[in-house]
Chain A
Amino acid sequence: MDPSVLLADAAENLYPARMQMALSLGWHIVFACFGVAFPLITVVAEWLGHRRGDAALAGLAHTWAKAMGVLFAAGAVSGTLLSFEMGILWPGLMDRFGEVYGFPFVLEGFAFFIEAIFVGVYLFGWDRLSPRAHMLSAVPMIISGMAGAFFVVAANAWMNNPTGFGLDEEARVVDAQPWAAMFGPSTWPQVVHMLLAAYMVTGFTIASVYAVGMLRGRRDHRHRAGLLLPLALAAALTPVQIGVGDWIANTVADNQPVKLAAMEAQYETTAGASLSLGGVYVDDELRYALEIPNGLSLLIHHDPDGVVQGLEEVPADERPPVNVVHLAYNAMVGLGTALLLLAGWLGWVWWRRRRIPGTPWFLRAVAVSGVAAVVAMEAGWITTEVGRQPWTVYGILRTADAVSPAPGLYLGFYAVVVVYVLLTVLTVVVLRRLAHSSTTPAPQERDAPPPDRDAGEVALR
């Protein structure tokens, strides 16, 4: 084919390909969070249920296990599409750098495999294994969920801070070192931040389901326990998450100063830079923002007069879309702070009175905390991914050079939108059904009736 036609196709593909990637990842990550964090929360409920002989807790654990099965299935199918998309949409990335950073995905494959196996064992073995064996079968799930998150996020951290290879004069990869590539400077902060985010998202979301129930007047023991257990975990992690947020922000400042400048909408390189909240960035200037003098320098360098680099340091075509990054970043930090206040409220009342705060306002706050945590997490990813633009591999490979030039590729985006809308509706229907009737089977369960003559009708009733 004529090369100019190919390039035209690539330009046509770029925007929809980015949107498609963002949609698929943004969808998958919500379910991935539950895949990472739900097993631990469920097994803790199961363990407490056994230890205290508390039927409500045991019942909660069983319902949660089923919900976990549903969410896991949704996560697994959406993840499959992702592995295709990595190559279909970004061949320029995989072709050149697959040997450098593809490796964590291989390890991730093993982690998912183990997780998928033990989700099956855990759900299937609910009444079939001894309580001890059953709870032990959750351990591989918990570990492999975390390990899987480590590996994928390590791959993403490599895109932010590529290490572990050399380039020859023609910019071809030489001397790829996959182990080194997996442990670049961004890996640990990103992984820890993501794992905490997964636990926060899961904890706050489950708690918010029971908060809604309590607001509707169902204040029984089951609802209280269903609220308190996940909420306590998420609330305990929130301050840690904010500390880790500081760590990750410092890593970004050191390694990706342009991204940091976009996060703060900072045009000029300044000493004693102020921290700006909100506002709109037009013509290289941030307007209508709330400024905290010297705040940014203090946060980044832990010194009020530290020098913070601005966007002016790089040519205009190497700057990310500032407004998206800045607002997403502010949204994450703002919501993180709000969740911290909620956690503080719970902690204070618990410390003084050993009970959950009694006012309906507390329940209302918990009811929205799940959404808040999900939005904070999505906003964090938008900060990371859009802030990396125009680079796919920071400073080395432009997104425009990574995209596939295949004709008609952009049509896939519309199809993906339709598929995800349907999938979302379906998942919500099934989860609601699960919430209303605890005998609803989960996808991995095998408790359909036996194949006697009228099994077909039984199954249909």
Chain B
Amino acid sequence: MTLAEVVLSVMFLGLIAYGVFGGADFGAGIWDLLAGGTRRGGPQRGLIERSIAPIWEANHVWLIFVLVVLWTAFPGAFAAVVTTLYIPLTLAAFGMIARGAAFAFRKSVTTLGMRRSLGACFALSSLVTPYFLGAVVGGVASGRVPPGIAAGDVVTSWVNPTSVLGGVLAVLVCAYLAAVFLCADARREGTDDLAGQFRLRGLATAAVTGAVGIAGLFVLRADARQLFDGLTGRALPVVALSVVAGVAALGLLAARRYVPARAASALAVTAILVGWAVAQYPYVLVPELTIEEAAGGRSTLVAMLVALLGGSVVLLPALVYLYVLFQRAPRHDAAEPAAPGAVTS
């Protein structure tokens, strides 16, 4: 592996983390949207709220991480992608603002109307943001972003069959991941009926996602030949791994083994992303710009690796601590509304 490839791989790890953790957060918002009326959807919304409240901000930084590594180590490719695809990216950024702000603030407001509209804002933006991000991936993967500043078509680069596929798949995958993750959260809280509801949803989304994935292969064959060849050629083992992990996750979910189901579904999603990377290798921007051509100078890449290593030494323990702290929080703990009167005078 060359230095540039190492740096790109590390960036890709960030992308995978965003796909899995951020994806599950988005998906939770999608289920919030589909939870039904205020009264009926209450318990589900409560579960969603509790499982993402403490971590959504941290999960979200993975995306920032991907952006900054790209713009420092692969500045030309970054400039090409964000200028050609600026419309879906701006919309995705607005979606993130709307989502973050609405989620963060909705529990602090008390009037029913405002709470409802913020809730709707949160849920809707959870749906559209992954769509736009998926459309961006579709645009890049189908070779619609040529090198150069705003050199591609600012509309057709993201309004095209592969982008639509990417967007739809992104939404489905988020929903699927969230359903599986929420099953385990519900069980930990001891609410098995909620776990059962999300189990059904997980199974149903998995079926839909699988069907769309298979149909998608035909779309890719017609619209993004190079990607299709890569996926069915060099990347075939990874794609196969994704299918196996997906099926395993289904089985585990059906058997109500929620924690291993979580791992298997995360593996399935990881494998899809890796499959994309392998299929497109060695290009950053198919079919013109290779990784080596796009990379910045050697000192930059070395500095980057040092920073990434040093940073992870600090970051990973902190992240693990965060997850452990929340996962361990016992049920009765969530049940007590943190006795506010005790400390606030």
Partner-B contacts on A (CB < 8 A): 6, 55-56, 58-59, 62-63, 69-70, 72-74, 76-81, 83-84, 86-88, 91-92, 94-100, 102-103, 105-110, 112-114, 116-121, 123-128, 140, 173-179, 222, 404-409, 412, 415, 419, 423, 426-427, 429-430, 433-434, 438-457, 459-461
Contact = CB atoms under 8 A, between A and B. Distances in A.
A190 B14 CA distance: 31
B342 A451 contact: no
Contacts of A456: 38-43, 45-46
B232 interface: no
Interface of B: 38-43, 45-47, 49-50, 53-55, 57-58, 60-61, 63-65, 67-69, 71-73, 75-76, 78-84, 86-87, 89-90, 92-94, 96-98, 100-101, 103-105, 107-110, 112, 114-115, 149-150, 154, 186, 189, 191, 194, 296-297, 299-300, 303-304, 307-308, 311, 314-315, 318-319, 321-322, 325-326, 329, 331, 333-335, 337-345
Contact of B83 (A100, A406, A427, A439): A406
Contacts of B38: 456, 460
B260 to A, nearest CB: 24
B156 to A, nearest CB: 13
Nearest to A165: B297
Given A117-B58, A117-B322, A222 B109 contact: no
A72 B105 CA distance: 12
Contacts of B338: 126-127, 445, 447
B90 to A, nearest CB: 5
Contacts of A78: 97
Which of B46, B89, B114, B308 counts the most chain A CB atoms within 10 A? B46
A440 B339 contact: no
A78 B65 CA distance: 16
A125 B73 CA distance: 38
B122 to A, nearest CB: 11
Contacts of B75: 94-99, 102
A228 to B, nearest CB: 16
Contact of A91 (B82, B90, B94, B107): B82
A451 B46 contact: yes
Contacts of B65: 106, 109, 113
Contacts of B322: 117, 120-121
Contacts of B63: 80
Contacts of B93: 80-81, 84
10 contacts: A55-B343, A73-B105, A80-B63, A87-B79, A88-B82, A106-B308, A120-B57, A124-B326, A450-B331, A451-B46
A426 B103 CA distance: 12
Contacts of B331: 450
Given A178-B304, A446-B334, 10 more contacts: A70-B108, A87-B83, A95-B79, A121-B321, A121-B325, A427-B101, A434-B108, A443-B108, A447-B337, A455-B42
B187 to A, nearest CB: 12
B54 A120 contact: yes
A155 B124 CA distance: 35
Nearest to A177: B299
A41 B150 CA distance: 46
B344 A438 contact: yes
Nearest to A84: B93
Nearest to A418: B94
A127 B343 contact: yes
Contacts of B326: 124, 446
A265 B311 CA distance: 45
Nearest to A78: B97
B46 A87 contact: no
Contact of A117 (B79, B191, B318, B335): B318
Contacts of B333: 128
A114 to B, nearest CB: 6
B68 A83 contact: yes
A119 B57 contact: yes
Among B55, B63, B343, max chain A CB count under 10 A is at: B343
Given A84-B90, A114-B314, A99 B297 contact: yes
Contact of A103 (B72, B154, B186, B191): B72
Chain A interface SS verdict (over half): helix
Contact of B108 (A430, A449, A460): A430
A88 B86 CA distance: 6
A402 B228 CA distance: 36
A110 B315 contact: yes
Contacts of A74: 101, 104
- Residue among B38, B64, B191, B315 with most chain A CB within 10 A: B64
B82 A80 contact: no
Given A448-B49, A459-B46, A76 B107 contact: no
Contact of B96 (A59, A80, A95, A179): A80
Given A62-B344, A103-B72, A103-B300, A404 B149 contact: yes
Contact of B86 (A95, A114, A409, A426): A409
B103 A124 contact: no
Given A70-B108, A443-B53, A455-B46, A460 B90 contact: no
Nearest to A444: B54
Contacts of A107: 307, 311
A407 B79 contact: no
Contacts of A442: 108
A116 to B, nearest CB: 4
A173 to B, nearest CB: 8
Contacts of B296: 98-99, 176
Contacts of A454: 42
Contacts of A175: 297, 299
A54 B96 CA distance: 40
Given A98-B75, A451-B47, A460-B115, A73 B41 contact: no
B107 A88 contact: no
Contacts of B89: 84, 88
A439 B104 CA distance: 15
Contacts of B304: 103, 106, 178
Contacts of B315: 110, 113-114
Given A59-B345, A120-B322, A404-B83, A415 B45 contact: no
